Chain A
């Protein structure tokens, strides 16, 4: 019942600006697929092309095997959840949920039954006769979800659905969205700029920048093996160390990392490392050295900003359960990278060489 979605060479131009630049993606049936990227990367434009609110400049979009480029928005059988919910303010909660069903001429007992299912699924039966203005943001969000899913859409589109909620509610809602999506097994395309949310909710993620897809993969893959410097910095936190590849390793200052690079690459490189893969030890000659510039205690771990000898700042974490102490500002330390968990990018900041 749910569609698989194929996006093939899709382009959207506004004048000379390419908002969506030749994107191709295959989204499987029942998959929760996220378009992740900073604002202006083209993710919402792409989503609205799938919805039918932006026309498709070039390329094609298919639901299963059918090209839908010229199917008008109202005939695409799509459920859409908007950033600001777009609840009909002149209708009650129940009427909002019923709206799409009535457009499909669902009548009588079936109508009542499906409205009830929708209200129950999102746990909003208690508010069904209220007007939307009497609901909190979270409740409005649930109405929007119920309204979009009750029509049994072929594809569910969600445009930054959690961005207007407060932090705690956001975490709660993303869990209920995930559960609901699994339960209904609807192909879902989810747009967000929040990488943590994307990691938490998605089956697969497409990381986008400047209208292009930088990497597609499971949350674990893109976190572990970022395909570009942009992905490494956008997903989670990464520090970057400049170094030189000389054929049998990468040299950073006085430290030589025994790394094998793809195709025996030589030249300038950037080594990306996440704070949790740096171990801090006493300062030692021949290692990467620096001094603690800033200490932030966050409960389960301590985040340090270490100023390297060249002046660069690198973040490192130490877990409270592993160490008992908090290092004082000014302490000299050496930094040891976990070579299993670093990435190396060439001077074009793109190719992964490891």
Chain B
């Protein structure tokens, strides 16, 4: 565009000042930070995957040996088996439960929601650990049943992983689908009925197609989480090796870790994640329906008997999914003698934990709160530039920041080590590398939630404020930032919960002084310190419950997704 002479006369300085406003500065700063903390570490990881353990460049030899050795290729196959089976099972469990609880007048909906969300947000490995205590070789239920002559098979290996994953991850499906079912305008189903479809046919021709994109999105979440999870298969998988476990073992191997090969495995698992993401995007392309219910669908009144039955079914599922949490809490009060539980209740486990592992407890909360503050700031500013300053650059930023969301924690940990172990800035061994990994990995919760609420805020409000004489920066904090708070903070609570429960990247990145509760639980379990592990897990569970209550208060009881 040719500027006329008059505006052209303004100096370069004035033009630069126009360009370098606060938001452009934010864009520049986030771009630089994401290059340093996201692009650079993953590039280092990629480069490292072409080197062997002595640091010699070996081209694609690592990749070749992965695909040639049966041992490695089997871990990939195992991972895929686990992920696909889990996804299928969670959908089969989550969709009907969501349908029952949103469309029928079952009792205790709030409690059920709370239980289901809790099971999702508790640390991943607690599920595995608790199920072992219930159904393992020496489990409570196993012994009970053995007493009356019933033998249940081994829950270790594939079956165990599947059990834990299904009950831990079906909440994704449950919550997404409940949300979609609740925001579908009642008139859509009525129109279906009006046109002659009823009962199951209406369900199949109207309801189900409309929530299919939502089911696919939640299925992707399940798949990604199952693919990335390390704690569960590590504890309950035993001989059944999946990729994240192999990565950890290669990296940590007592005979000297093979960082090059661990990187290769990491790249392969990232490639799998991205492939799934791409397939899912293709599958729901142009098929997501923007639904906002003018009139939410009616809750159908079930007659007494059916109502009890429906409630019982939903409660049973919810109860099984929180069984690990309950187990952990109960166990934490049981007397122990070394690795053995003995009859009677005590606070000994807590005393031991406070005395021995006080530093881990402090670390968890200090790191998480620092990470939380950073994530709130990033969520606030980044969501604004993504929504209100749409451009190619901010679109790229959005993608960059969301990328670590689909990356397994251990992979992120290895990349950060690759990037900051040597060179100008050495961060390994410090608390900062943990905080950075938490921020990178858990910001997406805050960001998505902030973006969601920002779309609901009228941009005109800011213009009104500016036209009334308040400069743009102050306008942002007086109007939009203020209005964003509920969405921002409820997202931040989820980020916080995910942070205190983080294990897989922490396990790679922690050093003696920077261990956290989750690390302590993991090491206690491997040392058979079940009582202390349970006490620590109870702390995390309680923190999670309190955070969730806070979340409910902030978000006004709206659902998590």
Contact = CB atoms under 8 A, between A and B. Distances in A.
B55 interface: no
Given A58-B4, A82-B463, A89 B483 contact: yes
Interface of A: 13, 51-53, 56-60, 67, 69-70, 72-80, 82-90, 99-100, 103-104, 144, 147-148, 151, 157
B388 to A, nearest CB: 13
A176 to B, nearest CB: 20
Given A58-B3, A58-B4, A74 B472 contact: yes
Nearest to B472: A74
Contact of A51 (B4, B7, B463, B471): B463
A151 B460 contact: no
A176 B132 CA distance: 75
B183 interface: no
Given A80-B463, A84-B460, A86-B464, A100 B4 contact: no
Contact of B479 (A58, A84, A88): A88
Interface in B442-468: 458, 460-461, 463-468
B4 A90 contact: no
A78 B483 contact: no
Given A86-B460, A88-B461, A90-B482, A73 B466 contact: yes
A144 B458 CA distance: 14
A82 B464 contact: yes
Nearest to B469: A103
Contacts of B7: 56, 58, 69-70
Contacts of B468: 74, 79, 99-100, 103, 147-148, 151
Contacts of B10: 70
B6 interface: yes
- Of the four ranges (under 10, 10 to 19, 20 to 34, 35 or more), the interface on chain B belongs to 20 to 34
B486 to A, nearest CB: 11
B516 interface: no
B475 interface: yes
Nearest to A75: B469
Contacts of B1: 13, 57-58
Given A59-B4, A74-B472, A87-B464, 11 more contacts: A13-B1, A58-B1, A58-B3, A60-B6, A77-B469, A78-B467, A85-B460, A86-B460, A103-B469, A144-B464, A151-B468
A13 B466 CA distance: 24
Top 8 nearest A-B pairs (CB, nearest first) are A100-B468, A86-B460, A103-B469, A86-B464, A80-B467, A82-B460, A103-B470, A58-B4
Nearest to A13: B1
Contacts of B467: 51-52, 73-74, 76, 78-80, 148, 157
A267 B556 CA distance: 72
Given A58-B4, A88-B479, A72 B461 contact: no
A57 B7 CA distance: 9
Contacts of A70: 7, 10, 14
Contacts of A84: 458, 460
A75 B467 CA distance: 8
A80 B463 CA distance: 9
Contacts of B464: 80, 82, 86-88, 144, 147
6 contacts: A57-B1, A58-B7, A69-B6, A72-B472, A80-B463, A89-B461
A51 B4 CA distance: 21
A151 B469 CA distance: 9
Contacts, number: 85
Chain A CB within 10 Å — which of B3, B14, B463, B464 has the most? B464
A268 B475 CA distance: 58
Chain B CB within 10 Å — which of A56, A73, A83, A151 has the most? A73
Interface of B: 1-4, 6-7, 10, 14, 458, 460-461, 463-472, 475, 479, 482-483
B58 to A, nearest CB: 50
A75 B10 CA distance: 19
Nearest to A59: B4
Nearest to A157: B467
A78 B483 CA distance: 24
A59 B3 CA distance: 9
Contacts of B461: 86-89
B317 to A, nearest CB: 38
Chain B CB within 10 Å — which of A74, A85, A99, A157 has the most? A74
Contacts of B482: 90
B469 A74 contact: yes
Contact of A86 (B3, B14, B463): B463
A323 to B, nearest CB: 47
Nearest to A53: B463
A86 B458 contact: yes
Contacts of A103: 468-470
Contact of B466 (A58, A60, A74, A83): A74
Nearest to A60: B6
Contacts of B471: 72, 74
A82 B466 CA distance: 13
A151 to B, nearest CB: 6
Nearest to A67: B6
A80 B470 CA distance: 13
A83 B459 CA distance: 12
Contacts of A90: 479, 482-483
A315 to B, nearest CB: 37
A52 B10 CA distance: 18
A342 B21 CA distance: 56
A73 B465 CA distance: 10
A184 B326 CA distance: 70
B445 to A, nearest CB: 24
B248 to A, nearest CB: 48
A100 B6 CA distance: 32
Contacts of A13: 1
B485 to A, nearest CB: 9
A88 B479 CA distance: 7
Contacts of A58: 1-4, 7
A79 B6 CA distance: 27
Nearest to B468: A100
A43 B464 CA distance: 19
A73 B470 CA distance: 9
Contacts of B463: 51, 53, 73, 80, 82, 86
A157 B466 CA distance: 13
B527 to A, nearest CB: 53
Contacts of A82: 460, 463-464
A78 to B, nearest CB: 5
Chain B CB within 10 Å — which of A84, A88, A99 has the most? A88
A153 to B, nearest CB: 8
Nearest to A15: B1
A74 B483 contact: no
Chain A CB within 10 Å — which of B4, B14, B482 has the most? B4
Chain B CB within 10 Å — which of A75, A79, A103 has the most? A103
A73 B3 CA distance: 21
A147 B482 CA distance: 20
Nearest to B5: A58
Chain A CB within 10 Å — which of B458, B465, B468 has the most? B468
Contacts of A78: 467
Contacts of A88: 461, 464-465, 479
A16 to B, nearest CB: 10
